[in-house]
Amino acid sequence: MKELSGPIGMNILVIGSGGREHALVWKIRQSPRVSQVYCAPGNGGIAGLAECVDIKADDISGLLKFAQERSIDLTVVGPEVPLVMGIVDIFEKAGLKAFGPSKAAACLEGSKAFAKEFMTRHCIPTAEYGSFDDILQGREFLKQCQYPLVVKADGLAAGKGVIICQDKAEAEEALRSIMFDHIFKDAGKRVVIEEFLVGEEASILAVADGNDFIILETSQDHKRIFDNDLGPNTGGMGAYSPAPVVTPVLMGRIAETVIRPVVDGMRRDGVPFKGILYAGVMVTAEGPKVLEFNTRFGDPETQAVLPRLKSDIVDMMLGSVEGRLATMKLEWDSRACVCVVMAAGGYPGDYASGKEIQGLSDVGDDAVVFHAGTKQEGGRIVSSGGRVLGVTALGQGIAQAIAQAYAAAGKIGFDGVQYRRDIGRKALNRT
């Protein structure tokens, strides 16, 4: 067994309450460095692996006080909101280590207009666009556009702030809904209108330390609620890894035209990027183009990628925080992984909560169930969110991983449950 040269007996705090955070806690618990794991606020599944703390993810002062009182050695920030609020800066100022980007670096996710301007300035391939904080200017811009096109809320909208418009009438309605009706609240004070890119999407996650980066194994998300990519966008209905659309040659191109220019560009701009850089990439006929950036682990991509990580995730995170990724190399399981999201009826619109979940103990050892929107209530596990569970399985090849994930999902039920039946099909078609 390899002797540990770094810290051991660590106290880790994970911030967040979704499936991503359950997967992070699950993986962090496997580290021999770790003594105690806390999660704020956590959920019904996380409670079996970590001590859940009743502090909301955006209560920065409450989280800081807790971290100081419990001598937290590393804080891992799951969701985007506390990152955009500047939690990493605040923790570092207090002498605490936190895995994630600074407030300034998190603008890559916090503002789509900022990200587009950054990409233009640093020659990173992306769709042609315009950005507007005035609805009349936006309507004028629509007159010169080709259709279909995409209208995006500039700010954070939980992965749902994107409307694909087939013609000018739909685009004007999208502008009105976002900027006048405020369907995405303050996220829609500014909009980005951009060219509709044709191709196949892939999720590229890299861990960076301000100077260097390591690209994680590829994955592909399924944003639409229904099979065959139909219906409205959601936070993600499932994912698989690896994504065969990203060949080794293409990955090299993405590394040199997307990831490296971001890390170098942010450093040159005086904003070194640390933490997870997520590039949503469309593989077009002209090559890879960036759809969006996230500055944290994706959800549900995390649930499909982390089960394949053989290296110690805490080592990786410390390497990012301490600026020493250049000396590290990650090891990966060669098996494929599939995550099927089980959602509440009505999601991504209105949905009911408090539905008792049956069959969780029947899944067996062939799959892991990551809880996204659940809570413990009187000895039962009940639904408490739109995306409720992420049923995840490894397999020797994508076909076996798909079969095992769906076999496990078939053993679980709750009133109104819905899930896509085609997660991973694109990978099957390519293999």
Place of tokens 């067994």: 1
Segment 138-142 mean pLDDT: 94
What is the Cα–Cα distance from 171 to 399, expressed in whole angstroms? 39
pLDDT at 2 over 70: no
* Range 336-430 classified under CATH 3.40.1160.10: no
Tell me the H-state helices in 242-283.
Answer: 248-254, 260-268
pLDDT at 5 over 70: no
Q: Which CATH number fits domain 128-195: 3.30.930.10, 3.10.20.600, 3.30.1490.20, 1.10.579.10?
A: 3.30.1490.20
Instruction: Give me the percent of the chain exceeding a pLDDT of 70.
Output: 99
Q: For the chain, what are the domain ranges?
A: 10-99, 128-195, 198-327, 336-430
> For residue range 279-289, what is the model confidence (pLDDT) as tens digits?
999 999 999 99
Confidence of residue 8 (pLDDT cuts 50, 70, 90): confident
pLDDT at 160 over 80: no
Report the chain's mean pLDDT, rounded to a whole number: 95
Segment 26-51 mean pLDDT: 97
> For residue range 377-395, what is the model confidence (pLDDT) as tens digits?
988 999 999 999 999 999 9
pLDDT score at 1: 35
What is the Cα–Cα distance from 302 to 19, expressed in whole angstroms? 8
Confidence of residue 148 (pLDDT cuts 50, 70, 90): very high
387: tokens are: 């995306």
Rg of the chain taking only CA atoms, in angstroms: 21
pLDDT score at 39: 98
What CATH number does the domain located at 198-327 have? 3.30.470.20
pLDDT at 423 over 90: yes
pLDDT at 273 over 70: yes
pTM metric for this prediction: 0.94
> For residue range 302-356, what is the model confidence (pLDDT) as tens digits?
999 999 999 999 999 999 999 999 999 999 999 999 999 999 999 999 999 999 9
Fold classified for 10-99: Rossmann fold (3.40.50)
Segment 173-178 mean pLDDT: 94
Q: Which residues contact 359 (CB under 8 A, 6 or more apart)?
A: 411, 412, 413
CA torsion sign for 378, 382, 385, 387 is positive
Segment 208-236 mean pLDDT: 95
68: which strand partners?
A: none
394: which strand partners?
A: 337
pLDDT at 431 over 80: no
Confidence of residue 7 (pLDDT cuts 50, 70, 90): confident
- C-alpha distances (whole Å) from 306 to each of 313, 333, 358, 395 are 9, 10, 26, 14
